[in-house]
Structure 1
């Protein structure tokens, strides 16, 4: 039996090995990271070598995500403000998902926007800019 602070190590159901540990983030205390997109800061909640990423994005009023194509489904949940593109607008508490191949420009409304974005693979930007989690020299 573990002591009062330790939990027993759970085993996987599909393999004879320990269950990988969960990763907990203190998001409110994480610093905002600058991006290559003016007026947009982010907190990277998850990213992997394959390009999957979950980002908390804070957009200043009118900040724009330039013309890009989604290479896989993208999911966006609006926490604050207005998130807009040529096809519509998402308000706080609303959700939009875009299929692979969707090409658009997105921007924050006059109040700005805070959004949670889930990407299965990085977007391709028309101007060659790297995706938010990609580093280029």
Structure 2
């Protein structure tokens, strides 16, 4: 496994530029499925990576669907389920592209979702 902290790169400034998103300033966007809203935090031009927050209302449910990219989900708070498992705050799951799944929440949830090729 690669080390998390690697030596600093020589010749680089100690002050770097970072992308910072104040998520509170972003409006929730309608996802097209009742009970699901999202905020896009980062998207590469070629859609190779897309990071978003998903807010699921209590009782939100989406029928079976798939995505053409790998899906990584971290449950920030609340509850989330698919046809295989029920997830709680702190749980992480990853699905490969084209994986059929449902999505729902009994009590509502906030999740971090990362799509990648």
Aligned to 2:37: 41
Please show how residues 119-130 of structure 1 align to structure 2 within 5 Å: 119-121=115-117
Please show how residues 7-18 of structure 1 align to structure 2 within 5 Å: 10=12
> How far off its partner does 1:66 sit?
3.1
Task: Answer whether contact 1:70 1:98 (CA < 8 A) is retained.
Answer: no
Distance 2:20 2:113 in 1: 18
Distance 1:59 1:40 in 2: 5
Which has more radius of gyration? 1
Aligned to 1:103: 100
Aligned to 2:76: 79
Structure 2: gaps (5+ residues): 1-11
Distance 1:65 1:96 in 2: 17
> How far off its partner does 1:56 sit?
0.3
Aligned to 1:58: 55
Task: Answer whether contact 1:69 1:103 (CA < 8 A) is retained.
Answer: yes
Listed one character per residue, the Cα deviations across residues 52-106 of structure 1 (whole Å, up to 9, x for unaligned) are: 2111010111212332223232100001111101110110011111112311111
Distance 1:71 1:42 in 2: 18
TM-score, with normalisation over the residues of structure 1?
0.67
Across the two proteins, how many residue pairs are aligned to each other?
103
> How far off its partner does 1:49 sit?
2.7
